[in-house]
Chain A
């Protein structure tokens, strides 16, 4: 498991005081937003601000993702050309299509070559928020090996589908499932759409649990106060931790006895189970549970 990506916090890109605090709010990942959070007349200014911010500020190990404008617009291309120069961890491609991902990838390759950056060091994080994007999510992921995760954008997706977005989320059940399964098949992260009602604490917890139960590996946040709750719920349960500890213990015993294969509670333990146990313990340590 690479760095954890339980939470991805949206930070408005044109706001210096929020950019300066982005790294200490506790999110695993921050999405510096040049798209919806910035008005059209300020897109140019926000781009330059985010570029300078990434260069100058300490984000204390938080993953830095920049949400760029759609590549169909002039803004999107300029975003990549400027932001890539300061090597963010990833760019988030809005209303992603395979075409967009390919275009972004090519542009990044050119820039990385010209600047002498490590090839493919800048990753891509497509945002699935259209019916087309949802149906073609596998192709979008496969369009470039820079893709490290998918974010579901339910507000725009439901708008595209002309259906109502609800707190309960039944309308995005298919979207969540499809993305979770496809991402798992492609071995990348599936990040759930943010919960937009800050004042509905109960609804928020239900929503996170639903996402987790369908296989989403993390959740986007639009307010720092959402981060702790998301981390708590995505943390492994006591049973998962106990089981993981048992697996590792059994593995160590087997290794000391020179055995390559071993079983636990009558079931054979193979590599995927060991990897999963190690990931669980890593997450548990992060959550302060071990």
Chain B
């Protein structure tokens, strides 16, 4: 999938994750992650985001994520929603 427009999904509510995506033509994946549980789950959140991007065949993207303790299913869902809004 090709990211054409900037888009966002999710909220800053507890247990949610706010995802903002924008195009990054030819620049690969740039991931900016903030999380209230960065030390404990930062790596895992990053993995879930990257796996979701891989599954949706997104190769170039600038993705900003502000996490408020979202579980994996929420991260997957919000990333997918943002991507689908951006193509």
Contact of A20 among B10, B71, B76 (CB under 8 A): B71
Q: Which of B13, B72, B76, B85 contacts A44 (CB 8 A)?
A: B85
Chain B: interface size category: 10 to 19
Is the contact region of chain B dominated by helix, strand, or loop, or is it mixed? helix
Among candidates A16, A51, A53, A55, residue contacting B16 with C-beta atoms closer than 8 Å: A16
Given A55-B73, A56-B72, A48 contacting B80 (CB threshold 8 A):
yes
Compute how far the CA of A53 lies from the CA of B70 in the bound complex, rounded to whole angstroms. Answer: 12
From known contacts A16-B16, A17-B15, A17-B16, infer whether A45 and B9 are also in contact, taking CB-CB under 8 Å.
yes
Determine how close the nearest CB of chain A comes to the CB of B72; give it in whole angstroms.
7
Bound: A20/B85 CA distance, A: 25
Cβ of A37 under 8 Å from chain B: no
Contact A44 B81 (CB under 8 A): yes
> Scoring B residues 62 to 73 as 1 if CB is less than 8 Å from chain A, else 0, what string do you get?
000000001111
Task: Please name all residues of chain A whose beta carbon is closer than 8 Å to the beta carbon of B14 when the two chains form the complex.
Answer: 17
Q: How far is the CA of A55 from the CA of B70 in the complex (A)?
A: 16
Q: Tell me how far the C-beta of A20 lies from the nearest C-beta in chain B, rounded to whole angstroms.
A: 6
Complex formed: what's the CA distance from A16 to B80 in Å? 15
8 Å CB contacts to B: which residues of A33-49? 44-45, 48-49
- Cross-interface CB contact of A57 among B16, B73, B76, cutoff 8 Å: B73
**Which residues of chain A come closer than 8 Å to B84, judged between CB atoms?**
44, 48
Is A109 at the interface (CB under 8 A from chain B)? Answer: no
A52/B74 in contact, CB under 8 A: yes
CB of B81 within 8 A of CB of A45, answer yes
Q: Does B50 contact A (CB under 8 A)?
A: no
Residues of A within 8 A of B71 (CB): 16, 20, 56
Indicate if B77 sits at the interface (CB-CB under 8 A).
Answer: yes
A53 touches which one: B10, B73, B80 (CB < 8 A)? Answer: B73
Q: What residue of chain B has the Cβ atom nearest to residue A51's Cβ? A: B77
Number of interface residues of A (CB under 8 A): 14
Is A158 part of the contact surface with B, judged by Cβ < 8 Å?
no
C-alpha spacing A44/B10, complex, angstroms: 11
Alpha-carbon separation in the docked complex, A51 to B77 (Å): 8
Known contacts A16-B70, A44-B81, A44-B85, A52 near B76 by CB under 8 Å: yes
Asked if A45 and B77 make an inter-chain contact with CB atoms under 8 angstroms apart, the answer reads yes
> Which B residues are CB-close (under 8 A) to A17?
13-16
Q: Does A15 contact B (CB under 8 A)?
A: yes
Give min CB distance, A131 to chain B, whole Å. Answer: 36
Whether A15 contacts B13 by the Cβ 8 Å rule is yes
Beta-carbon nearest neighbor of A56 in chain B: B73
Could you mark each residue 15-48 of chain B with 1 if its beta carbon is under 8 Å from any beta carbon of chain A, else 0? 1100000000000000000000000000000000
Nearest residue, chain A, Cβ from B15: A17
Distance from A34 Cβ to chain B, minimum over Cβ atoms (Å): 13
CB-based closest 5 A-B pairs? A56-B73, A17-B15, A45-B81, A49-B77, A52-B73
Can you name 15 A-B residue pairings with CB atoms under 8 Å?
Answer: A15-B13, A16-B70, A16-B74, A17-B14, A17-B15, A17-B16, A20-B71, A44-B81, A44-B85, A45-B10, A45-B78, A48-B77, A49-B77, A52-B76, A53-B74
Add 10 more A-B contacts to A17-B13, A56-B71 (CB < 8 A): A16-B13, A16-B70, A16-B71, A17-B14, A17-B15, A44-B85, A48-B84, A49-B81, A52-B76, A53-B74
